Structure 1
Amino acid sequence: MQLNLNELRELLAAINQTDFTELTLKDAEFELTIRRGGRTEYLPVADTVFAGEGSTVTLGMTPPAAVAPPTAAPPAAAEASPKPAPAPAPQADQKLLDVTSPMVGTFYRSPAPDEPPFVDTGDRIRLGQTVCIIEAMKLMNELEAEVAGEIVEILVQNAEPVEYGQVLMRVRPL
């Protein structure tokens, strides 16, 4: 896969206009991972060269001690939409379990737009009951309850994109 500097800039600008926090591109010749926030891991890899017409970018392993914090946000980052506010923390006296997304996709509360949602706040659920759908690559993946309990919070709006590990709901186990 050939990727020149202009294509790399276009890719980064496009990613800045989304809510993605991580993107990995793999090819037989290289691997590129882009992450926003969170921690950074450094893996020993050989120098990777992205060659294209007119521009060549060479990336190599950088030890953590040599990485300097950014002094200013790149122009494309300034145009990015603001990040959503973190979910409110559950009360300390409650033992709540988080229902998290097992994949990146689109969250749906009901099996079809004209049907009632699988669950609402305050509903009691049983083990194995479908609580929502995550659509990924045109496949509808039903999420089933891993515990019987009561839905305390639903943190995602219908048809909203979700990320791997994102908390979708909070359940008070019975």
Structure 2
Amino acid sequence: MDIKEIQNLIKFVAKSGASEVKLEMEDVKITIRTGSEKTETTIVQASPMQGAPQMAAPLAPQQPVAEAPVAPAKETEDNSNLITIKSPIIGTFYRKPSPDKPNFVEVGAEIGVGDTVCVIEAMKLFNEIESEVSGKIVKVLVDDSSPVEFDQPLFLVDPS
């Protein structure tokens, strides 16, 4: 990505009214935050980039979130054998393909590699999230229609 493309991206974000945009490519990470008077841009480039963008999504202003109760240490020990399915993108988490359809997976459901476990909407695109592991769904960690962040845990899976 050259400087002209970055400048055009900054202008586009400023005009769009989005408060924050993150763009991650193979070797480049760009975060653009806009405020009332100034635009802040952070660019991290490890080496010359190759490939297409993997993620770009405007973020809504952050809402206060109620803190979850602290889990007992015993429960943490029990989760050591579980695998976490995490969100690969920022967006809105949906457990169903549409409001009138059943959930993709329920607690206790057996899943295989490549099975769709949820959908995440980002920039009006619905991205099916597929499992990279086989096992049984032990816990759903996110409520339906909730915003999720990149790398946020979505499901706990027992691989045994």
TM-score for the superposition, normalised by structure 1: 0.54
Matched with 1:85 is 68
Out of 141, 152, 156, the residue aligned to residue 170 of structure 1 is 156
Q: How does 1:1-174 map to 2 (within 5 A)?
A: 24-25=31-32, 31-33=40-42, 81-85=64-68, 88=71, 90-94=75-79, 95-174=81-160
Letter matched to residue 24 of structure 1: T
Q: Which has the larger radius of gyration?
A: 1
The one-character-per-residue Cα deviations of 1:27-75 (angstroms, maximum 9, x if unpaired) are xxx8535xxxxxxxxxxxxxxxxxxxxxxxxxxxxxxxxxxxxxxxxxx
Letter matched to residue 121 of structure 2: E
Give the ranges of 4+ consecutive aligned residues of structure 1 lying more than 3 Å apart after TM superposition: 86-91
Letter matched to residue 115 of structure 1: K
1:92 match: secondary structure: helix
Give, in whole Å, the separation in 1 of the partners of 2:111 and 2:142.
Answer: 18
CA drift at 1:91: 4.2
More strand by share: 2
**Identity of matched residues, %:** 46
TM-score for the superposition, normalised by structure 2: 0.58
Unaligned stretches of 5+ in structure 1? Answer: 2-6, 16-22, 34-79
